[in-house]
Amino acid sequence: MWTCVLLRKPFLYVNIHLFPKLARNHTCTLMAQKRNQTSVLKNSWTLHTTWFRGMADLIQDNATLSHSKSRKSKGSWSFPVLDGSIHPEQIDTIEANLRNSEACIQRYLELLGKVYQREERDILRHTQDNHKLLVRDRLRLVLDNDDDFFELSPLAGYDLPYGTISNAGCLTGIGKICGMWCMLIANDATVKGGTFYPITVKKQLRAQNIAIMNRLPTVYLVDSGGAFLPLQAEIFPDQYHGGRVFYNIALMSSMKIPQVAVVCGSCVAGAAYCPSMVDESIIIDNIGSMFLAGPPLVKAATGEDISVEELGGAIVHSRVSGGVDYITSTEEEAYERVRNVAMTFNCGQCPGESVKYDEPLYSPEELKNLAPQNYECSLDVKLILSRLFDGSRFQEFKAEYGTTLVTGFAHVKGHLIGLVASNGELTHQASLKGSNFVNLCSHRNIPILFLLNTVPKASQCTSLAQAEDLGRRFKAQACMMATIACAEVPKITLVIGGCFGNDSYAMCGRSFDPNFLFLWPNARVALVDCRSPFADFLEEDENFCMDKSTLKNLEKKLENESTAFYSSARLWDDGVILPQNSREVIAKCLAIIKQKESQTLTRQQQPILRM
Ligand code: COA
Q: Which long-range contacts (CB under 8 A, 24 or more apart) does 51-57 make?
A: 52/12, 53/77, 54/78, 54/79, 54/80, 54/395, 54/409, 55/12, 55/395, 56/10, 56/12, 56/32
Count, residues in the chain = 611
**Residue 440: what pLDDT?**
98
pLDDT of residue 529: 81
| Residue 41 neighbours by CB under 8 Å, 6+ apart | 22, 25, 26, 48, 49
User: What pLDDT is recorded for position 458?
Assistant: 64
Which of 411, 581, 432, 434 is CA-nearest to residue 507? 434
d(CA 51, CA 397): 11
Distance 333 CA to ligand 1 centre (A): 26
Q: How far is the CA of 227 from the centre of ligand 1 (A)?
A: 9
| CA-295 nearest atom, ligand 1 | 39
Measure CA 545 to chain center.
Answer: 41
Q: Which residues, other chains included, contact 558 with Cβ-Cβ below 8 Å and sequence gap of 6+?
A: 526, 528, 530, 534
Give alpha helix (H) positions in 183-240: 198-214
| Residue whose C-alpha is closest to residue 314's, from 304, 302, 305, 322 | 322
The predicted-structure confidence for 229-242, as pLDDT tens digits, reads as follows 999 999 999 999 99
Closest ligand 1 atom to 122 CA: 17
Ligand 1 atom 43 nearest Cα:
225
Q: How far is the CA of 268 from the centre of ligand 1 (A)?
A: 9
Pocket flag, ligand 1, residue 268 (CB < 6 Å): yes
187 vs 162: CA distance, rounded Å: 19
Any ligand 1 atom below 6 A from CB of 295? no
Task: Give the integer Cα–Cα distance in Å for 240 and 208.
Answer: 12
Indicate if ligand 1 lies below 6 Å from the C-beta of 520. no
State the distance from the centre of ligand 1 to the C-alpha of 313, rounded, in angstroms: 17
Rounded to an integer, what distance in angstroms lies between the CA atom of residue 610 and that of residue 280?
A: 9
Atom 29 of ligand 1 has which residue's CA nearest to it? 193
Task: Indicate which residue's Cα is closest to atom 41 of ligand 1.
Answer: 225
User: In the beta sheet, which residues pair with residue 170?
Assistant: 187
In angstroms, rounded to a whole number, what is the distance separating the alpha carbons of residues 99 and 29? 54
**Cβ–Cβ < 8 Å for 169, 188:** yes
Contact criterion met (CB below 8 Å) for 166 and 191: yes
Q: For 160, which DSSP code? A: B
266 lines ligand 1 (CB under 6 A): yes
Taking CA atoms only, the protein residue closest to ligand 1 atom 7 is: 228
The CB of 74 under 6 Å from ligand 1? The reply is: no
pLDDT of residue 297: 86
* Cβ-contact 264, 331 below 8 angstroms: yes
If you ran DSSP here, which 8-state letter would residue 517 be given? E
CA distances (Å), 260 to each of 238, 249, 281, 552, in order? 26, 10, 6, 52
For residue 2, the tally of other CB atoms under 10 A from its CB is: 8
* Contact yes or no for 396/437 (Cβ under 8 A): no
- Whole-number pLDDT of residue 560: 92
Mutate to test the pocket of ligand 1, among 129, 195, 291, 308 (most ligand atoms within 8 A of CB): 195
Strands 395-397 and 405-412: antiparallel
Exposure string of 429-454, with b = 16+ CB inside 10 Å and e = fewer, is bbbbbbbbbbbbbbebbbbbbbbbbb
Longest dimension (CA), the chain: 96
Residue from 162, 170, 192 to probe ligand 1 pocket by mutation (most atoms less than 8 Å from CB): 192
Q: Which of 126, 129, 134, 268 to mutate to test the pocket of ligand 1 (most atoms within 8 A of CB)?
A: 268
Sheet holding 405-412, edge to edge: 395-397, 405-412, 415-422, 448-452, 491-495, 516-519
**Amino acid residing at 151:** E
CB 350 within 8 A of CB 595: yes
From CA 49, how far away is CA 149, in angstroms rounded?
Answer: 43
The answer to whether the beta carbons of residues 314 and 282 sit under 8 Å apart is: no
One-character DSSP codes across 455-494: -SSPPP--SHHHHHHHHHHHHHHHHHHHHHHH--S-EEEE
In which residue ranges of the chain is pLDDT below 70?
1-77, 348-353, 458-459, 532-545, 600-604
Half-sphere CA count of 36, side-chain side, radius 13 A: 1
Q: How many Å lie between the centroid of ligand 1 and the Cα of residue 187?
A: 13
Residue 483 to residue 177: CA distance in whole angstroms = 36
Whose CA is closest to atom 15 on ligand 1? Answer: 192
H helices of 322-463, in order, are 331-342, 367-370, 381-385, 428-444
Q: Per DSSP, what are the bridge partners of residue 420?
A: 407, 450
Q: Which of 319, 264, 260, 269 is nearest to 286 (CA)?
A: 264
What kind and span of H or E run contains 185? strand 180-187
> Residue 294 has what pLDDT?
87
Answer for the pair 220, 261: CB distance below 8 angstroms, yes or no: yes
**Ligand 1: centre distance to CA 272 (Å):** 15
8 Å CB contact between 375 and 456: yes
**Interval between CA 337 and ligand 1 midpoint (Å):** 28
Angle between helices 135-142 and 331-342 (to 10 degrees): 40
